[in-house]
Structure 1
Amino acid sequence: MHPRSADNIDNLNRSAEYIKEAFISRGARITAQDIPITGGPYKNIVANYGPADGPLIIIGAHYDSVSSYENDQLTYTPGADDNASGVAGLLELARLLQQQTPGIGVQLVAYASEEPPFFRSDEMGSAVHAASLERPVKLMIALEMIGYYDSTPGSQDYPSPAMSWLYPDRGDFIAVVGRMQDINAVRQVKAALLSSRDLSVYSMNAPGFIPGVDFSDHLNYWQHDIPAVMITDTAFYRNKQYHLPGDIADRLNYQKMAQVVDGVTTLLYNSK
């Protein structure tokens, strides 16, 4: 369903309703969280699994997409990789969590209003959710574009040319990204993803001034001193259809997406 941009509130709400019903069909305890934005309603959809009290692990993905100008014309992206791929990961996690209850509380959160004009504002869905938390949070993971892979030599770019000496030039891996102080969280998530067979995983802990390190919903949990990391295919550093009409479902690698979900599931079942 697209466009899902801020100026297409009806499609956003249809998407939210679809996600809510999918979570319900997968046995979740559901909360719809209003986001106070003029012109709404905009909603986060929160699915709860496991114990109703005690520490939480949060897995989040935004379901909105962006509108942008290309050759001075307003265009809309289908947003398949950015970020229907992350939402698909949430829904598959819900299916798996219904089959086996985790030993720790898990919230799967589908966020509205991640994209501009809300990005880096208090009106981001993840900012509202992070500020509302009353239970202690052990870890937050943002699923931010997990679907595009390219094994062509030279297909992977980086914020700094020096990084090409440390990381592959082929965009056929998934990345785990976090702050310097979240090194243990990054290691934990990376180890879980590596348990998924045939999935190549690289990680980076870096200061926030490195472009891309904070380009998703995890940044709002940092404001509350919550360990938070991003699982990503590296967005525009690989996917040249980022925010463009060419970000379509046919370009996604569903096997790799499933492997990412398997790794996250392993982490959840091994957490207490």
Structure 2
Amino acid sequence: MPPIDLGLGLGTSGLDDPAECTESVVTALEAGYRHVDTAQMYDNETAVGEGIARADVDRDEVVVATKIHPTNLAPADARETARESLDRLGLDRVDLLYVHWPTKAYDPEATLPVFDELREEGVTDHVAVSNFTPDLLREAREILESPIAAHQVECHPRFQQPELRELAAEFDHHLVGYSPLARGELLDDPTLAAVAERNGTSTAVVALSWALARDVVPIPKSTGDHVTENLAAPEVDLSADDLAEIDGLAGGGRTIDPDDAAWNRE
């Protein structure tokens, strides 16, 4: 089993309004979420931390994840900014600390040992990576002393990441899927709509249920009623036929594809 339990999470990328971000975190935690994902890049760690503090949920019940900005991945910067993230979050540790993108200041031999140090020093309980290619993932495993607890990548029914899902099973870490609704592009998908109608739910919940059934931890960004709506995903039992139909959507592209992403440099 992976070294940490993860369930459906609340993604906070794009929650730029501090009040809305804080309220979404409070709503999510009090509705039953126990996994909140943020990043230095999102510029909302303070608002996320306020939501965690305000929610009527014990901090130790919540998996809190943040990510080091790619420009902060030189050793001294990673050490300093990881602690700055804790200050903004109002926490004494995070559960997951990610390398956000293996770009900019990322140097595996220099960067990754700092993540081991931060884990040893109690800044984070677990080390994680994001947006790595299979080769970079294998390299990181060789360099790190800590186990990789999670690998976060874009993953949804139109971009299903079969190789990285297989590696997650082989290496015994979670594959965490961001943009699990393809930035809203899946909401009008006719295949998902048909599956949703058969199951008496929404296309969003079907997409999230597919991810969970395929051992992917989805972290949808949600506000308002969608926060609680998405929480229904673990309760939906998609049939083998439903899953096969959704699997047939594979073949689409990424919705997040920066020019300097690792997969564009290989």
| TM-score, normalisation: structure 2 | 0.27
**Higher helix residue share:** 2
By relative contact order (CA 8 Å, sep 6+), the higher-ranking structure is: 1
